[in-house]
Amino acid sequence: MGAFVIRGCEIYLGGAFVPAELEVRGGVVTALGGGIVPGEGASVYNFKNCIVVPGLADVHVHLREPGFSYKETVASGTRAAARSGYAALCAMPNLSPVPEDAATLAQELDIIRRDAVIDVLPYGAITRGQRGEQLADMSAMAPYVCGFSDDGRGVQSRELMRAAMLEAKRLGRPIAAHCEDNSLLRGGYIHAGEYAKAHGHRGICSESEWGPIARDIELLRETGCAYHVCHISTAESAALIRSAKAEGLDITCETAPHYLLLSDSDLQEDGRFKMNPPLRSERDRLALIEALRDGTIDILATDHAPHSAEEKSRGLAGSAFGITGLETAFPLLWTGLVEPGIISRERLVELMSTAPARRFGIESGIEPGGPATFAVFETETTYRIDPERFASKGRATPFAGREVRGRCVLNVVRGREVWRA
């Protein structure tokens, strides 16, 4: 990209947005402030109605490769992320083969090195094959992964989860837990609420999520590992995590845009409304908003889980669990949370950039002498979400047609332009 100067923006610096200019040379931020005189050969970008933020980090995505490239690939998923302001993704291990030791992880790492257009940090599996029977070779994978997860499946055995926590602590890596009690699912596929009752659907009770969280908090008191709860969706989950934080336990959690902006009252008989956990009640949604505001929720992730059109064409009962999320997250949250004053724009940056980077060891921040990794968002122009324009192979989103603002117009990772609108 060469040397360049960005003008006309507010830049997120030291936890606040300030009007400033930014110069980049050799992949490094060389100047921040006002009145920067472009050096020889430098390009100048004049933006209007734009903010500059540290590159976003999504700690919960499914890139589907190796094994399921008809759903998504590392190339298509990272292109979708790049055009959405992301600098780094943490990729879940429900792949084929499952990354359970050095050899299987190497297959995923080879694809990442070859095809990723932004940074991708894989998770290693907690158990072999994600079957919940025997610990994976966590020690062999630890130097190359951001943490350990069996996402898509909960670890049902208390003793196995205790062993995993102890090993993760020894290795200095977090556990990212998909909390789901299989014994309480009973064939459910949407929230066990009013919509399920009215339309004759099988419901998933809230306890199937918060029960395992309560169990793991007990184990956390014993083991002291770094513990992260994936995609919380219930009021009870938030309350348990809030209490655990008050005890001083090393616990963080994430939720996703759909749990903050939709509830089961928004459901339609369409596979694009089906994900796991499911959309919960309005009471749960409001509890998550409060948890976002009071700091209980640390991170906003997408749980980007693309599927083929056919897999999402079978209605609520028959469709695969999961929706695409990378290309809608920032504009949805800007329009749905920041603009109404539910959270500040600074808090949104904390949730989508600085907090996930801090928890999972991802490079972040905009400062002189540091790497030029940032995204520019234009926040005034309204557009409609159109899945047919996605770079992701996944098209299923409950937000199709929604009007939003907050489009990424430039994304730079270590001085390299990975997207420009």
- C-alpha triplet 410, 411, 417: angle, nearest 5°: 95
Residue 200 contacts residue 210 (beta carbons within 8 Å): no
- For residue 238, count other CB atoms closer than 10 A to its CB: 26
Whole-number Å distance between alpha carbons of 65 and 75:
9
| 3-state secondary structure (DSSP) of residue 165 | helix
Distance from chain centroid for Cα 151? 13
**Please, are residues 137 and 100 in contact by the beta-carbon 8 Å criterion?**
yes
SS3 label, residue 315: helix
3 state SS of 313: coil
Strands 374-378 and 190-191, bridge-based pairing: unpaired
Question: What number of other Cβ atoms are within 10 A of residue 174's Cβ?
Answer: 25
DSSP 102-151: HHHHHHHHHHHHHH-SSEEEEEEPSBGGG-SSSB--HHHHGGG-SEE--T
Task: Tell me how far apart the alpha carbons of residues 252 and 237 are, in angstroms, rounded to a whole number.
Answer: 12
DSSP state of 278: P
Using DSSP bridges, classify how beta strands 190-191 and 203-204 pair: parallel, antiparallel or unpaired. parallel
CA separation for the pair 4, 7 (Å, rounded): 10
Nearest to 383 by CA among 343, 421, 418: 421
Residues designated as active site: 303
